[in-house]
Chains A and B, each alone.
Chain A
Amino acid sequence: MRIVCPFCGERELGEFTYLGDAKPQRPAADAGEDAVYDYVYLRDNVAGPMSEHWYHGGGCRAWLKVTRNTLTHEISAVEPAAGAGAAKVGA
């Protein structure tokens, strides 16, 4: 498997580390225990396209948001995760 890093170009899997589901959003401080429990522990076991966080630690050290089909490993989109590259996101 290869991932096309938006900063570095196409690279082998060995340069990346998988974090997991990119969907969960940190709940507000007053959201309550159930919301925090969901955020920390509950994950969908997706069969198909899934939004995931990957870290290009063996390259530019940017966090990426990768859309990967968990059935075929086909990658349909890669974009910088929020905060990766001060100019690109959240500037």
Chain B
Amino acid sequence: MAEFSWDVRSPLDRALIAGSYGAQGDAGVALTEIRDFDLVQVMARRGKAAEMVKAAQARFGIAAPETPKAVDTADTALIWSGPDQFLVLSKGGKHTIEALAAAFVGSASLSDQSHARALISISGDKARAMLAKLSSIDLHPDKFRVGAAAATSMDHTSITLWRGKDRADGQPVFNLLVFATFAESLWHTILDSAAEYGVTITHSEKLA
């Protein structure tokens, strides 16, 4: 039998070229791809939503979002993804599907999305202006506050968008999860949209 060796690579491995892009000078947009994360979809079984909420509280010590929001614990983000469902985003193998299975047995169905999505963090003083070209969501700071989330579409592609904690310099951070097979396409669209502001491109192993 043939021996296979699977090489884990980011869906943006080819498209992402670290460095600067577009207009010269101070970059208005920073794009950081976050790699190597664990992502688990948790969906309540019929009539078990209240039990799922209880199980999440017991597991994470915090209420899972029941409206379009993202909440942080010390080592995870719980991100609303639809009615009676949320995503568990973490690093370091602490909240893998195997680790969560026992906590949600009987109340929710779990689905491992770790290698099914790309995670892009968008920040900078022109992040909002750039996203406004691609999104129909109102991202005004008073409307889309830190912790706000949306299941929406961007460039005809389903995405999960949420606002992270502001950067140390006070600039807003928007996190975006996109299906792996659409990531490269959306990445190029984002680059086109951001080019006029100047872009700094990196990838990181750390959650924003």
Contacts and interface: CB of A to CB of B under 8 A. Distances in A.
Interface of A: 7-9, 11-12, 14-15, 57-62, 80, 83-88, 90-91
B200 interface: no
Contact of A59 (B45, B49, B84, B151): B151
Nearest to A6: B83
B5 interface: no
Interface in B35-58: 44-50
B136 A11 contact: yes
A87 B152 contact: no
A9 B68 CA distance: 9
A11 B201 CA distance: 31
Given A8-B68, A9-B68, A60-B81, A86 B151 contact: no
Residue from the set A7, A15, A87 with the largest chain B CB neighbour count within 10 Å: A87
A46 B84 CA distance: 34
A65 B38 CA distance: 35
Contact of B45 (A62, A84, A86, A88): A86
Interface in B121-148: 136
A90 B151 contact: no
B153 A87 contact: no
Contacts of B44: 86-87
Closest 7 CB pairs of A and B: A85-B83, A87-B49, A58-B153, A60-B82, A91-B47, A86-B84, A86-B44
Interface residues of B, number: 19
Contacts of A62: 82-83
A12 B136 contact: yes
A29 B152 CA distance: 39
Interface in B90-109: none
Contacts of A87: 44, 47, 49-50, 83-84
B158 interface: yes
A86 B82 CA distance: 11
Given A9-B68, A87-B84, A58 B47 contact: no
Contacts of A7: 68, 82-83
Contacts of B46: 83, 86, 90-91
Contacts of A60: 81-83, 151
21 contacts: A8-B68, A8-B151, A8-B152, A9-B68, A11-B136, A15-B153, A58-B152, A59-B153, A59-B158, A61-B151, A62-B82, A80-B83, A84-B83, A85-B84, A86-B47, A87-B49, A88-B84, A90-B46, A90-B47, A91-B46, A91-B49
